[in-house]
Chain A
Amino acid sequence: MDKTIKIQVRRYLPEKQPDPFWQEYEVPLEPKWGVLDALIYIKDHLDGSLSYRWSCHMGVCGSCGMMVNGEPALTCATFLEEYQPGPIRIEPLANFKVLRDLIIDTDDFMGKLKSVKPWLITDEKRDITDGENRQTPAELKAFKQYTLCINCMLCYSACPVVGLNEDFVGPAAIALAQRYNYDNRDSGNAARHDTLLAHGGAFDCTLIGECSRACPKHVDPTGAIQRYKADGAMEYWKRLIWPKAATAPKNDGIVKQID
């Protein structure tokens, strides 16, 4: 080993000891190695008990988000050389319950994603024989940015509101709702208002913008939330003052289980 760098990992082994603790490892400082490569090295050669999630190693599967020196980051796309001389401190993503070591509980996030009804909702059923929907490049561009979310949850870690208010549906989920709301093939805005206008919805956001700074894919959830607030405010007042004028959802697209 020519050059090395120290990695300090916040470990949590609930079956062995009740509190998290720090453990330090020394790994080779190889050119092109990401923080994830260091974790793989540790697991393979130093300590088989270290646990973390990873898969694609190319920044698209969204598995390997962690706190690196206090900032949320995709560890496969964050490089050791940038942290010389070290040490590098690695912790599980902030604002989540930790299951073990660097692995967080993502069930709550998954529920929030689903709560915004992230599927194409149409008033009329379209058949394959009807062919493709037309969508010009400009119409695609209107929502394309919001399709790029990889569900890595870095924005939830960065968001101070998520940290204080566990009911907040959060940046990625609102951006995903907007991904469908701005798709010209979709007519489900009304069905999504229920979640986005409710307690924990878009209006809980205080527009600090940390989510957009943390986003590795430049989805800009802050922008998505801001745009929703304009549309949502109109709907909110309609519902309050003149409920009849409020947009009633025709359907929400859900396919029910039949017993």
Chain B
Amino acid sequence: MTRYGPDEYDVLIVGGGGAGLRAAIAVAETDPRLKVGVVSKVYPMRSHTVSAEGGSAGVIKSNDSIDEHIYDTISGGDWLCDQDAVEAFVNEAPKELLRMEHWGCPWSREPDGSVAVRSFGGMKNKRTWYAADKTGFHMLHTLFQTSLKYEPIRRYDEFFATTLLVDDGRCQGVVALEMATGRLHTIAARSVILCTGGFGKAFRFTTNANIKTGDGVALAYRAGVPLKDMEFVQYHPTGLPFTGILITEATRAEGGFLLNKEDYRYLQDYNLGKPAPQPVNRTMELGPRDRLSQAFEQERQKGRTIKGPYGDYVHLDLRHLGEQHINERLPMVRELCLKYEKIDPVTQCIPVRPVVHYTMGGIDVDINGATCVEGLYAAGEASCVSINGANRLGSNSLTELLVFGARAGRAAAEHAKQAKPFSAKLAALARDEEQRIEETFCKSGEGKTSGDSIASIRETLHHQMEAGAGIYRDEKSLQTAKETVLELQERAKALPLQDSSYTFNTELTAAMELRNLLELSSAIIESGLLRTESRGAHQRTDFPQRDDENYLKHSLAHRTEYGATPRIEYAPVTITKWPPKERVYG
């Protein structure tokens, strides 16, 4: 195979989290002649996969079945999942999790040495593999450490991708900012895989890390790829009130109760079954996340939640589990509560509230991670396959990274082997990008003390997204959010910076991230405005019913231009063996 310069790759992956690293390894294992690059704005082990706690789903025990995992996923997603994708996902899940075991992932174990599994919300059987309550941390470190043994993988740590190089209908690489020096690099590649995660940072209260700004999703969007099902944003029912830190669903799988201000297990009032002393799958606290977050909001409106300085909350009670069980199964939860809330869950209830956790929507891809642009792929939370439909089940996303990271890696490797020559125009495209960055961000604002700042635009965005596109929405709230985001985009058209340094200019990257979030927020809002039904995480108070006749379909947001409303189209949902039914829990 012909070789090019040092910055030319067969497969280039943007994002070094779980999906990106799994994809990189898949390419290297497909063909060790292929050169693989991994561009990431943070060192890979800082990626947000690290924060996932509860576990990763895959059928392994004899009392479980593939069909049941498929059904749980489809019903959990309120029938908006593509069923062929779910079938592939569930079938490949156990193999991927076993591969992680062979790479050394420290899964928690049964006394006989087999891998242990736990219950999870919306799952009928115990099938969630876990490593105490630091599953994402252990998976990410295992993948990162394993990736180090593959010589074909070269990393570009702390490089921020600013645009895709698309010419002749093909994606042929990226332009990336080397954060340490401020230099822009043109990195050519025959296939590019976007694995940059979701965009929960469009919201104020979120479990998401600072880096979760949807950069790769915005790159694909600007390159003409539609964004699928953007209106579906998952609120996790149990985050800490001020920090938004995730308190894993595993707390409830282990037997935790949710209590309102009267110490009442309020979920029994919301069609989630009757309370029992022991956890029952698909019931009460083990219902799906959308339904639990919605129940909280209704309790709040009834005045039955507890008032706090950072908004209302309810109590998550683990006290009856006992110190030993908490230490063994939920050590991080205890550590986080002691550190960030100064309470001990062994003796005190944990204050929790719903917080934005996961974006079901993302880059429209097929079952192999391919987008409509040749050579461009996506996997993980950045993408929408869709296996998550209108509401993702807890512990499906870590598995999704593996299954679809690997699939995208293999498909991108096959595409790269065709070895089409690069366009002559790449250098010119890169020069255009340099000019765009200079014009937008680098007209010096040094010494500027007031006026429009990144922070003030971001704060307004956070407020509007929560108020307008939160757990419950209606036409008016979405319309207000739409107008505000359009205004914010106008204000952010040019964002002069106080910082004019080349070395680690984090103000520059923050400005780019903010513009990415603004573009994605407008796609969330417009998709939500036009979906006049309630399904999964998208709940319209003005259209409270699911409407299969008109909306059993994926929304596809197409970008028009910066600061303009996206155009929404629709695509059918693939239904194979599981026709739409009512979602029943309890």
Contact = CB atoms under 8 A, between A and B. Distances in A.
A259 interface: yes
Contacts of A258: 32-33
A62 B103 CA distance: 22
Nearest to A114: B148
Given A60-B51, A99-B180, A131-B98, A259 B112 contact: no
Contacts of B455: 43-45
Interface residues of A, number: 67
Contacts, number: 179
Contact of B152 (A119, A147, A257): A257
A174 interface: no
A248 interface: no
Contact of A253 (B43, B47, B149): B149
Given A58-B51, A137-B109, A140-B106, A51 B114 contact: no
Interface stretch (B75-83, B296-304, B410-418, B496-504): B496-504
Interface stretch (B120-128, B133-141, B372-380, B474-482): B133-141
Interface in B475-527: 497-499, 501-507
Interface in A31-57: 31-32, 43-45, 47-49, 51-57
Given A32-B243, A48-B507, A58 B42 contact: no
A144 interface: yes
B46 A183 contact: no
Contacts of B334: none
Interface residues of B, number: 71
Contacts of A101: 504
B104 interface: yes
A133 B47 CA distance: 28
Interface stretch (A13-21, A157-165, A230-238): A13-21
Interface string A114-156: 1001111000001010011111110110011001101100000
B355 interface: no
A110 B340 contact: no
Contacts of A47: 498
Interface string B29-59: 1001101000000110111101100000000
20 contacts: A13-B503, A44-B453, A44-B455, A47-B498, A49-B499, A51-B499, A51-B504, A55-B210, A56-B209, A57-B243, A61-B51, A100-B503, A100-B504, A118-B145, A120-B103, A133-B102, A134-B113, A137-B108, A148-B134, A255-B149
Interface of A: 13-16, 31-32, 43-45, 47-49, 51-63, 77, 99-101, 103, 106, 110, 113-114, 117-120, 126, 128, 131-137, 139-140, 143-144, 147-148, 150-151, 176, 180, 183, 185-186, 253-259
